[in-house]
């Protein structure tokens, strides 16, 4: 459930979305994410947004949902949002750093969260509202967070299992290329490698990369675990992953109070649906990959956390986010 601070900020952000509309000329919204599977929680969340927005508006809003069809790379989606070719997109913090907002990388830090409950307390609370305001201000209203979605909890998967940090030495791992994420994997001795999500199955199959990391649902839907270089899954649980549901703030101008209410309701219900499906789907996805022949182990996370903490501290000091980091850590207790 979104906290009052976050809801107030979202209400402010959704005011005046896109273009002025009339009952005879409904507001059309292009909503997009980068996953090509129709069974992904992102897709179900976007479809819930469509369902609610169209239902409560009685046709005053029409939503087109794109599952990877206008971009499988998040930077493509962010650029389309900026240029007006998309209206509602899902993006990771790492891609937002490319548009000159390095502070969002705090949500890319590995081992920042220790549970989904911890993650929700943070993103739906003061820290989440603060980062949302910062993105809106620093982008001069080009980008506005309307909700935080979950991409599950990420684990390592590769051609061999990971029992300790040393097992990662020399491993070419496809990972998010946020600076702090790449830095963590370099600290383990691995070689961070950039591969587009839509090309990762082939990269694993052909040995272009030795490993990757993602949550059970996302990689199982793409059959990564069925490749020779995706068979071994090590539950590192290094990233309770944050996604930003974004709109272009410069199009927030002419909606009526009623239209604003429709959008807010649709965003809130879609967020609840996406999170519910993400959380509930993890165990089912794990059962599926094991049934398909994947081999799972659980390494001791303490040595990995020990590598992550100095990276967290360094980023917070560099960006002046020491208080924010302290609050996030406090919420873990």
Strand partners of residue 193: 174
Alpha helices for 189-256 (secondary structure H): 200-205, 216-221
pLDDT in tens, 71-109: 888 888 989 998 889 999 999 887 777 788 899 999 999
**How many whole angstroms separate alpha carbon 243 and alpha carbon 94?**
10
Check if the beta carbon of residue 155 is closer than 8 Å to that of residue 236. Answer: yes
Report DSSP state, residue 178.
-
Alpha helices for the chain (secondary structure H): 4-14, 41-56, 74-83, 93-96, 116-123, 126-138, 179-188, 200-205, 216-221, 257-291, 302-319, 322-331
Confidence of residue 14 (pLDDT cuts 50, 70, 90): very low
Provide the number of structural domains found in the chain: 1
**Structural domain containing residue 284:** 4-331
**How many whole angstroms separate alpha carbon 27 and alpha carbon 20?**
8
**How many whole angstroms separate alpha carbon 212 and alpha carbon 192?**
9
227 or 197: which carries more pLDDT confidence? 227
CATH of the domain at 61: 3.40.190.170
Q: What pLDDT is attached to residue 2?
A: 58
Beta-strand pair 211-214/143-158: antiparallel
Strand partners of residue 311: none
Residue with tokens 């929680």: 41
Check if the beta carbon of residue 274 is closer than 8 Å to that of residue 42. Answer: yes
Q: Tell me how crowded residue 103 is: count the other CB atoms within 10 A of its CB.
A: 20
Residue 1 pLDDT more than 70?
Answer: no
Q: What is the mean pLDDT of residues 168-197?
A: 93
Q: What angle do CA 181, 184, 186 make, to 5 degrees?
A: 110
Q: What pLDDT is attached to residue 25?
A: 86
Average pLDDT, the chain: 90
pTM of the predicted model as reported, rounded to 2 decimal places: 0.88
């Amino acid at each position: 459930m979104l906290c009052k601070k976050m809801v107030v900020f979202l209400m402010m952000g959704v005011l005046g979305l896109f273009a002025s509309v009339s009952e005879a000329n409904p507001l059309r919204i292009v909503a997009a994410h980068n996953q090509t599977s129709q069974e992904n929680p992102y897709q179900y969340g976007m479809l819930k947004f469509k369902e609610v927005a169209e239902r409560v508006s009685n046709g005053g809003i029409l939503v087109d949902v794109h599952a990877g069809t206008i971009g499988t790379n998040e930077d493509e989606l962010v650029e389309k949002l900026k240029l007006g070719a998309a209206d509602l997109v899902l993006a990771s913090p790492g891609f937002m750093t490319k548009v000159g907002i390095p502070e969002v990388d705090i949500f890319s830090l590995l081992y920042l969260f220790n549970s989904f409950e911890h993650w929700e307390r943070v993103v739906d609370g003061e820290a989440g509202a603060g980062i949302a305001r910062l993105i809106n201000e620093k982008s001069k209203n080009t980008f506005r967070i309307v909700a935080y979605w979950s991409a599950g909890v990420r684990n390592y998967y590769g051609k061999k299992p990971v029992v300790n940090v040393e097992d990662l030495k020399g491993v070419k791992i496809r990972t998010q290329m946020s600076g702090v994420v790449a830095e963590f994997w370099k600290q383990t001795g691995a070689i961070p490698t950039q591969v587009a999500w839509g090309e990762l199955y082939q990269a694993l199959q052909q040995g272009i990369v030795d490993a990757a990391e993602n949550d059970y649902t996302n990689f199982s839907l793409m059959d990564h675990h069925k490749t020779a270089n995706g068979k071994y899954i090590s539950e590192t649980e290094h990233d309770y992953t944050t996604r930003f549901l974004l709109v272009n703030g410069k199009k927030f101008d002419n909606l009526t109070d009623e239209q604003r209410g429709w959008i807010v309701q649709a965003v809130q219900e879609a967020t609840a649906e996406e999170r519910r499906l993400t959380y509930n789907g993890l165990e089912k996805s794990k059962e599926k990959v094991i049934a398909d022949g994947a081999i799972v182990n659980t390494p001791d996370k303490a040595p990995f956390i020990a590598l992550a903490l100095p990276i967290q501290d360094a980023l917070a000091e560099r960006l002046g986010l020491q208080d924010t980091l302290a609050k996030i850590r406090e919420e873990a207790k």
